[in-house]
Amino acid sequence: MAYCSYLNLYLAFYLSCIAPLSLAQTAKSSVPFKAVNLGDWLVTEGWMNPSLFDGITNKDLLDGTQVQFMSTNLQEYLSAENGGGTDVVANRASAFGWETFRLWRVNDSSFNFRVFNKQFVGLGGQGTQVRADSNAPGDSETFQIIRNDGDPNRVRIKATNGLFLQAKSETLVTIDYEGLGWEDSNPSNFKMTIVKTLKGEYQITNGYGPNRAPQVMRDHWNTYITDEDFGFMSSNGLNAVRIPVGWWIAQDPTPPKPFVGGSLQALDNAFTWAKKYGMKVIVDLHAVEGSQNGNEHSGTRDGYQEWGASNIQDTVVVIDFLAKRYANNPSLAAIKLMNEPLAPGVTLDTLKKYYQASYDAVRKHTPSAYVILSNRLGPADPKELLSFARNLNRVVIDVHYYNLFSNKFNNMDVQQNIDYIYNQRASDVKDVTTSNGPLSFVGEWTAEFAKGGASMQDYKRFANAQIDVYEGATFGWAYWAYKCAANHWSLKWMIENNYIKL
């Protein structure tokens, strides 16, 4: 409080002449932060805001959708024999990995089918027999899915040569059927089952396509988070935002397709609003090229985790870009180098090499911004980065705590969830909070829990227990998320409805 005593502040309040500037000067915005994640803003997560996908044709057939096809004639599933590399057959009574095809969307109705071993289904260059041995999809790996008007999961699959795929026999699947018809005995008829969908940034931008996606995304960026939201956050006790961004932001305004430009302007706006309301910004590289975890929020096309050593250099370029742009912005608190790398696909060795190179990139531009290292998800020791991080300056270990996504939480009642926070989570936080090492940050948590359906009082107790314990983290915490269609995941909703008071 540089200018005024409490008395002056109250006077100023009653004279209603607190300009945003003086708020900025009086707000406490240093560690430990009370922060919130601006999830689903610059990196789409469809479950948080499903209606954003409503304008897409065939919106259930987006990139990465996993489908299975049962021949209605043979009552057997199509299968990429051996998981790929050879013939496609139609002789499986039930469907697992080899019988599952991941869609790459070419346009509203045409697709490539990626098999278990990552090859694509096609003609294999000659003859009519269907194979799964192409490493890059072209015209002969592109198929139109034609849906039955009355039953959208009854389909025929048409090749670019105008002929249909048919299951001639259990071991002979060909592209040479010319007829029409929707009878069960028609060898070109299949029952399609959708077993998994992805709804991330790749899916929404490629789903709308190059003509519509730019407008849809810009409208979303301009309305989902605004100046007023930063006002709401700061007046309700939050002093920082963690903003997930995707790797394509570094190539704004012309990122590689299907991503569209404009998210950089939105991030710039966030810095402007943060300054106005005396808040800090944590920039979080949430989606890296190749995908570090296969989740939709990693920007993946089809759910394969492919980020590795060969991607390090390109990803450091993204960090360098962000650090350079915001290094001298007083609202920059930290840059998080990568969200939720997943073990064992991302090895500790590769991750450390990347973290070191990205740390150096940030330090080229700023000595003071914190650098945040995400722990690995999956089978990984939560302390595995501590000794590495001890050699770096102003670094933070980011951990995410959800009483979800694991069977052990499925039957826990509210009190058991709360006990888990005071026992297990408290000890987890202690494990990554050391006296002369990196700071600790609970970068994601939420008041929802696996069983759900509890009373308002119970949700309040569960949220407060977490705030109690996560306040022990020396860099602070960040709620997931600010806005979400599922109410308990929305801190805005939780504050407005008196579930959470900071």
Amino acid letter, 247: W
Retrieve residue 121's tokens.
Answer: 């289904």
* Nearest residue (CB) to ligand NAG, 144 versus 203: 144
Q: Which residue has the tokens 């270990």?
A: 397
Among 107, 313, 410, 416, binds ligand NAG (CB under 6 A): 107
Using the rule CB under 6 A, give the single segment among 107-115, 163-171, 275-283, 387-395 that binds ligand NAG. Answer: 107-115
Q: Are 388 and 352 in contact (CB under 8 A)?
A: yes
* Nearest residue (CB) to ligand NAG, 24 versus 106: 106
* Nearest residue (CB) to ligand NAG, 86 versus 110: 110
* Nearest residue (CB) to ligand NAG, 213 versus 500: 213
Q: Does 58 bind ligand NAG (CB under 6 A)?
A: no
Which positions from 435 through 454 interact with ligand NAG, judged by CB under 6 A?
none
253 preceded by cis ω (within 30°)?
yes
Using the rule CB under 6 A, give the single segment among 103-111, 311-319, 386-394, 442-450 that binds ligand NAG. Answer: 103-111
Q: Which of 204, 199, 339 is nearest to 263 (CA)?
A: 204
Q: What are the start-end ranges of the E strands in 375-455?
A: 395-401, 439-445
Which strand (E) or helix (H) includes residue 261?
none
Which positions from 398 through 417 interact with ligand NAG, judged by CB under 6 A?
none
* Nearest residue (CB) to ligand NAG, 108 versus 360: 108
Q: Where are the alpha helices (DSSP H) in 157-262?
A: 201-224, 227-235
Q: Are 442 and 488 in contact (CB under 8 A)?
A: no
Using the rule CB under 6 A, give the single segment among 96-104, 105-113, 381-389, 408-416 that binds ligand NAG. Answer: 105-113
Q: Which of 208, 220, 224 is nearest to 259 (CA)?
A: 208
Which positions from 115 through 144 interact with ligand NAG, judged by CB under 6 A?
142
Q: Does 269 bind ligand NAG (CB under 6 A)?
A: no
The dihedral through the CA atoms of 444, 449, 453, 457 has a sign that is: negative
Which positions from 368 through 397 interact with ligand NAG, judged by CB under 6 A?
none
Shortest CB 65 distance to ligand NAG, Å? 17
Q: Are 37 and 482 in contact (CB under 8 A)?
A: yes
* Nearest residue (CB) to ligand NAG, 106 versus 377: 106
* Nearest residue (CB) to ligand NAG, 138 versus 237: 138
Q: Where are the alpha helices (DSSP H) in 379-496?
A: 386-389, 414-420, 426-431, 456-470, 491-496
**What is the C-alpha to C-alpha distance for residues 95 and 36, in angstroms, rounded to an integer?**
41
Among 26, 160, 269, 329, binds ligand NAG (CB under 6 A): 160
**What is the C-alpha to C-alpha distance for residues 425 and 430, in angstroms, rounded to an integer?**
8
* Nearest residue (CB) to ligand NAG, 105 versus 492: 105
Q: Does 265 bind ligand NAG (CB under 6 A)?
A: no
**What is the C-alpha to C-alpha distance for residues 481 and 286, in angstroms, rounded to an integer?**
14
Q: Does 106 bind ligand NAG (CB under 6 A)?
A: yes
Shortest CB 64 distance to ligand NAG, Å? 18
Using the rule CB under 6 A, give the single segment among 22-30, 104-112, 422-430, 489-497 that binds ligand NAG. Answer: 104-112
Shortest CB 158 distance to ligand NAG, Å? 9
Q: Does 110 bind ligand NAG (CB under 6 A)?
A: yes
**What is the C-alpha to C-alpha distance for residues 33 and 292, in angstroms, rounded to an integer?**
26
Residues 6+ apart with CB under 8 A from 27: 234, 239, 277, 278, 279
Q: Taking CA 225 as the corner, what is the angle to CA 223 and CA 230, rounded to the nearest 5 degrees?
A: 135
Q: Which residues bind ligand NAG (CB under 6 A)?
A: 106-108, 110, 142, 160
